[in-house]
Amino acid sequence: MILADKITNLRKKNGWSQEELAEKMQVSRQAVSKWEGAQTVPDLEKILALGKLFGVTTDYLLKDEIEDEEFTNEPDRLPVKRVSLALANEFLEWRRRAAGRIAAAVFLCIVAVIPLLLLSAATEAPGHPVSENLAAGVGLVVLLVLVAVAVAIFVSCGFKNTPFEFIDKEPFETEYGVEGMVKEKQKAYRSAYAKSNILAACLCVLSPIPLFVSVVTEKEFFMVVMLCITILLAGIGATLFIFAGVRFASMQKLLKEGDYARRDQRKTRVKEAVSTVYWLSAAAVYLGWSFLTNDWEITWVVWPIAGILFAASMCLCNLFMDRDAKR
């Protein structure tokens, strides 16, 4: 019972909630609640971590009496950065601009294959003036240039986001007025966010229709054009998702809501890492298969399949993260 009281007192002196202490200790909030309710006792490893976190000796924590804290010489606590109203406005404005740039870069990556498909199909049309080698060469050059431009945009956004990286990676507190300002902006943007997501979802769902229409004809060039329209519609849908999502996520980060709530920040970082590896792998599979077989009119199926599997992988990731948090 004494240990439970000491943990509670130390937590409150630091101004932390049970969720915040749970995040710092990398355990569930229920585990902290049980410690403070004397329902369970932290194991030795957790007691050592508690002493290091609070800057007190383990002797103080384990003694069966309430007394003044026995602080260690080197408390492992760093000052928490604070987000001012000016910095919050600067961050939101930067993320508004970055949303358009990131969305444009993703769009370029998706549609980069369209010129190659059209040029390759043109070589099969009667009386075509373009040779297969020229079509393939020009198409590949355009594809690589578009992808290179997209990569440059991604890298540029990464560098310009450096002053705000601590918002993603470190604990922070907001100064007076920040929360109210962000909530007002979020409320004003919520309607546009919902409309963008609805439109994006409709475009992604309806994008295969041109491809289905092309089945009625045996003209290869017409089929390729319909495939390009399908890719274009899917690209516009993905762009809308990203453009709206990046802006809304920036507000959630400052408010510590949704996936950016303190108790979910570790989960979010893991999911972001998994997402990055997943989509880089998907791109590698797509490009490798396409270049090795030259069947660009078929290899596009990698992306809808990857989208479905991505949703499943995120569900599994959440399941494993929740199970580990309860241990």
**Structure confidence at residue 104 (pLDDT):** 93
Count of all residues that appear for the chain in the document: 327
Q: Domain count of the chain?
A: 3
pLDDT single digits (tens) 184-194 = 999 999 999 99
Q: Are residues 218 and 85 in the same domain?
A: yes
Q: Are residues 279 and 155 in the same domain?
A: no
Q: Are residues 142 and 280 in the same domain?
A: no
Residue after which a domain boundary falls, among 260, 281, 306? 260
Q: Are residues 152 and 296 in the same domain?
A: no
The token pair at 322 is 């929740």
Instruction: Tell me whether residue 99 is in a domain.
Output: yes
Give CA–CA dist 268/311, Å, rounded: 15
Are the beta carbons of 273 and 204 closer than 8 angstroms? no
Are the beta carbons of 166 and 82 closer than 8 angstroms? no
pLDDT single digits (tens) 224-254 = 888 888 888 888 988 998 899 999 989 988 8
Query: CB-based contacts of 101: which residues, under 8 Å, 6+ apart?
Result: 153, 156, 157
Are the beta carbons of 54 and 14 closer than 8 angstroms? yes
**Structure confidence at residue 296 (pLDDT):** 61
Q: Are residues 131 and 27 in the same domain?
A: no
For residues 88 and 261, which has the higher predicted lDDT (pLDDT)? 88
Q: Are residues 113 and 188 in the same domain?
A: yes
Question: What element of type H or E holds 172?
Answer: strand 172-174
Q: Are residues 212 and 309 in the same domain?
A: no
Q: Are residues 103 and 159 in the same domain?
A: yes
Helix ranges (DSSP H) in the chain: 2-13, 18-25, 29-36, 44-54, 58-62, 85-111, 114-122, 132-160, 165-169, 178-206, 209-213, 220-255, 265-293, 296-299, 302-325
Confidence of residue 273 (pLDDT cuts 50, 70, 90): low
Q: Are residues 103 and 154 in the same domain?
A: yes
**Structure confidence at residue 74 (pLDDT):** 45
Instruction: Tell me whether residue 156 is in a domain.
Output: yes
Query: CB-based contacts of 27: which residues, under 8 Å, 6+ apart?
Result: 46, 325
Range of the structural domain that residue 144 is part of: 81-260
Q: Which segment of 9-13, 69-73, 179-183, 210-214 scores lowest on mean pLDDT?
A: 69-73
Are the beta carbons of 223 and 217 closer than 8 angstroms? yes
Are the beta carbons of 42 and 327 closer than 8 angstroms? no
Q: What percent of the chain has pLDDT over 70?
A: 78
Question: Average pLDDT for residues 51-70, to the nearest whole number?
Answer: 69
Distances (CA, A) of 17 to 12, 29, 45, 55, 259: 7, 9, 21, 18, 18
Q: What percent of the chain has pLDDT over 90?
A: 16
Q: Are residues 187 and 324 in the same domain?
A: no
Q: Are residues 26 and 86 in the same domain?
A: no
Q: Which segment of 20-34, 167-181, 266-280 scores lowest on mean pLDDT?
A: 266-280
**Structure confidence at residue 188 (pLDDT):** 93
Residues 162, 165, 166, 169, CA torsion sign: negative
Q: Are residues 148 and 43 in the same domain?
A: no
Instruction: Tell me whether residue 68 is in a domain.
Output: no
Question: Average pLDDT for residues 34-44, to the nearest whole number?
Answer: 84
Distances (CA, A) of 107 to 227, 243, 251, 272: 16, 11, 24, 20
Question: Average pLDDT for residues 158-186, to the nearest whole number?
Answer: 85
Instruction: Tell me whether residue 245 is in a domain.
Output: yes
**Structure confidence at residue 76 (pLDDT):** 46
Instruction: Tell me whether residue 131 is in a domain.
Output: yes
Question: Average pLDDT for residues 57-66, to the nearest whole number?
Answer: 70
Which CATH number do you get for residue 32? 1.10.260.40
**Structure confidence at residue 272 (pLDDT):** 64
Instruction: Report whether pLDDT(278) > 80.
Output: no
Instruction: Tell me whether residue 173 is in a domain.
Output: yes
Instruction: Tell me whether residue 225 is in a domain.
Output: yes
Instruction: Tell me whether residue 67 is in a domain.
Output: no
Confidence of residue 71 (pLDDT cuts 50, 70, 90): very low
